[in-house]
């Protein structure tokens, strides 16, 4: 992220802590850069519903306030789908794509996408990633809405890894299918 975005994310995270969870948004496509840092417990998770980091500092603790994606914490060097509020999810790495803007033909309907090999569910799944990789994420039983997907529904998310460095930082962009 660049500019004042990290401070804005921290402020948004504090607001979420006061509100008691991950706030929903009507945003359906995010073309900006998101950076996760596996060495920082406040910046190693992402909440798609609030378009912000999924953890905040609250009473000396770092609770999960709606994180759905995590980098390097439970599986070093890997992206993991983590649930909160009963959510379950799965992530599949579809490999590198020649162009960062090339999401391929993933605009198929949900049933066809869900039938891809390795996309058969699980409460917690991780995958190793590198720059250029395209990942497909499914989150079931949403605890909060993500764009047009209401609470309790399933969301499919395409995620393009932009950078992945040995220091534990990963940059990506995402959008809903």
Sequence spans of domains, the chain: 5-176
The pLDDT score that the predictor gives to residue 73 is: 84
> What percent of the chain is modeled with pLDDT above 90?
17
> Average pLDDT of the chain?
73
pLDDT tens digits, residue range 68-95? 899 998 888 899 988 778 888 888 888 8
Which pTM does this prediction carry? 0.71
Higher pLDDT, 34 or 123: 34
The pLDDT score that the predictor gives to residue 16 is: 35
The pLDDT score that the predictor gives to residue 113 is: 56
The pLDDT score that the predictor gives to residue 108 is: 47
The pLDDT score that the predictor gives to residue 8 is: 43
pLDDT tens digits, residue range 43-65? 888 988 888 888 777 788 877 77
The 3-class secondary structure across the chain, one letter per residue, is CCCCHHHHHHHHHHHHHHHCCCCCCCCCEEEEEEEEECCCCCCCEEECCCCEECECCECCECCECCCCEEECCCCCCEEEECCCCCCEEEEEEEEECCCCCCCCCCCCCHHHHHCCCCCCCCCCEEEECCCCEEEEEEEECCCCCECCECCCCCEEEEEEEEEECCCCEEEEEEEEC
Q: Which residues pair with 58 in a beta bridge?
A: 61
The pLDDT score that the predictor gives to residue 26 is: 42
Average pLDDT on 19-38 reads: 59
pLDDT tens digits, residue range 118-171? 565 554 588 999 999 988 888 888 888 888 888 889 888 889 999 998 889 999
């Amino acid at each position: 992220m660049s500019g004042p975005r990290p401070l804005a994310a921290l402020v948004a995270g504090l607001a979420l802590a006061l509100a008691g969870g991950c706030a929903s948004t009507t945003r359906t496509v995010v073309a900006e850069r998101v950076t996760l840092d596996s060495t920082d417990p406040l910046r190693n998770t992402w909440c798609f519903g609030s378009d912000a980091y999924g953890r905040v500092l609250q009473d000396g603790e770092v609770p999960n306030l709606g994180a759905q994606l995590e980098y390097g914490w439970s599986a070093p060097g890997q992206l993991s789908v983590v649930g909160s509020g009963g959510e379950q999810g799965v992530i599949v790495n579809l490999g590198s794509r020649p162009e960062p803007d090339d999401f391929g033909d993933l605009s198929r309907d949900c049933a066809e996408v869900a039938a891809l090999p390795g996309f058969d569910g699980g409460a917690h799944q991780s995958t190793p990633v590198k720059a250029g990789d395209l990942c497909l994420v499914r989150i079931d039983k949403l605890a909060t809405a993500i764009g047009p997907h209401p609470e309790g529904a399933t969301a499919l998310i395409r995620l393009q890894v932009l950078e992945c460095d040995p220091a534990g930082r990963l940059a990506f962009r995402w959008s809903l299918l």
